[in-house]
């Protein structure tokens, strides 16, 4: 059997990169003897492919549309089209191309729902759709989406098992960070300013809104960094999930910290790939910040992680409630109690065993969902193909 996996949404964000190797890990574990071709976005780099081939050497990658022979060949070879985890049905264009040339089945694994007429029709035609947060599932049901199977299913990125110990060790040694003696913090703006890192038109309205909200969205991170360092002497690594956050981490976190606190703060000033990031997260005491997929990768490796969210990030953050981590989910729009947030992060340092057990419990629940979902998918494959 061969799956055509639409994934790898963009190369500037380690979370979007993680979706693909994570889904490949689940396929490897639960669907043995399955070949996979990844239909990736065109900005995928040779470096990313090399990283994923290190873990999955036999997986093929194609980019572009059906006018390219390698894409058409992949469509013809495939027994099934699988849409990987993402912010919505991001691969609708490619799914339509697949359906244009094939009457073979398709399914969707771990997305957030958005109400879009074309996507609604495609979702209803799927053999299965697993939504990565329960709010998405309910919204889709209320809109009349009628895929054969519709359930909650965690984002695939929890299954990320890439590693790059060599790079991690070099970085930690260079920055004098000792294993289990530091925590990680990630900033984020309401809208990613892609115009800063690639050939994308400047959006004045999004930039204005970012500037309007950026102090509100980062003061609680700074205050928590300061409080944790003052009380424990621990170190904090400010790091990026996407390329724009290198600059943001400096301007909104590091530069605004008191001088006597900065000596315990390391600012990551270069981008990294998912394998190195995961290896470093695993050596930390935990992570907190305004992003989603670094916390997902942490929990998937039994590392404590707090998510701070807002409405522009859709409903995906509520998956933390779905996996029993309500106490580690904060909503900026409702207002964040800095004392409560900092107390939770302090527990990562002072009650390490308790925090790690909580992370492990959530990860075990995710694994239980994965097991049930992949068994359902395997039963479908065994019956249909």
Average pLDDT for 371-382:
91
Using a pLDDT cut of 70, give the percent of the chain over it.
99
- The domain locations on the chain are 2-159+367-384, 165-350
**Domain 2-159+367-384 classification at class level:** alpha beta
Q: Tell me: the pLDDT tens digits for 38-89?
A: 999 999 999 999 999 999 999 999 999 999 999 999 999 999 999 999 999 9
Q: Which CATH architecture has domain 165-350?
A: 3-Layer(aba) Sandwich (3.40)
Q: Tell me: the pLDDT tens digits for 299-329?
A: 999 999 999 999 999 999 999 999 999 999 9
pTM assigned to the model: 0.97
Average pLDDT for 193-209:
96
Assess whether the region 2-159+367-384 and the region 165-350 belong to the same CATH fold.
yes
Question: For tokens 């989910």, what's the residue?
Answer: 329
| Cα three-residue angle 292-109-10, rounded to 5 degrees | 55
Is 147:120 a contact under the CB 8 Å cutoff? Answer: no
Greatest Cα pair distance in the chain: 64
The confidence score (pLDDT) of residue 383 equals 67
Task: Give, in order, the Cα–Cα distances in Å from 188 to each of 30, 241, 340.
Answer: 35, 9, 20
């Amino acid at each position: 059997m061969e799956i055509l996996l639409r994934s790898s949404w963009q190369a500037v964000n380690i979370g979007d990169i993680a979706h693909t190797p994570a889904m490949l890990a689940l396929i490897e574990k639960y669907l043995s003897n399955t070949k996979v071709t990844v239909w990736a976005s065109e900005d995928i780099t040779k470096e990313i492919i090399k990283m994923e081939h290190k873990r999955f050497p036999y997986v093929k990658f194609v980019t572009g549309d059906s006018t390219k022979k390698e894409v058409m060949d992949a469509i013809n070879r495939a027994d099934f089209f699988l849409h990987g985890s993402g912010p919505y049905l991001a691969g609708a264009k490619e799914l339509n191309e697949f359906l244009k040339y094939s009457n073979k089945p398709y399914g969707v694994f771990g997305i957030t729902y958005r109400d879009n007429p074309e996507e609604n029709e495609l979702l209803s035609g799927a053999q299965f759709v697993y939504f990565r947060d329960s709010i998405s599932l309910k919204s889709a049901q209320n809109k009349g989406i009628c895929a054969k199977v519709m359930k909650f299913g965690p984002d695939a990125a929890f299954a990320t098992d890439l590693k790059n110990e060599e790079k991690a060790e070099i970085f930690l040694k260079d920055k004098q960070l000792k294993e289990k003696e530091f925590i990680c913090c990630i900033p984020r703006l309401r809208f990613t300013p892609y115009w800063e890192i690639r050939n994308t038109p400047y959006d004045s309205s999004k930039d204005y809104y970012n500037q309007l909200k950026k102090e509100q969205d980062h003061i609680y991170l700074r205050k928590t960094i300061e409080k944790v360092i003052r009380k424990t002497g621990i170190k904090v690594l400010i790091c990026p999930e996407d390329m724009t956050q290198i600059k943001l981490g400096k301007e909104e976190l590091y530069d605004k910290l008191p001088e006597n606190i900065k000596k315990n703060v390391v600012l990551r000033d270069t981008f990294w790939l998912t394998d190195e990031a995961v290896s470093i997260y695993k050596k930390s005491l935990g992570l907190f910040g305004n992003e989603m997929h670094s916390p997902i990768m942490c929990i998937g490796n039994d590392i404590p992680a707090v998510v701070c969210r807002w409405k522009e990030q859709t409903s995906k953050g509520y998956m933390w409630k779905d996996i029993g981590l309500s106490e580690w989910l904060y909503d900026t729009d409702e207002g964040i109690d800095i004392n409560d947030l900092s107390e939770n992060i302090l527990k990562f340092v002072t009650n390490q065993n308790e925090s790690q057990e909580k992370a492990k419990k959530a990860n075990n629940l995710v694994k239980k969902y994965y097991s049930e979902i992949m068994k359902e998918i395997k039963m479908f494959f065994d019956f249909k193909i």
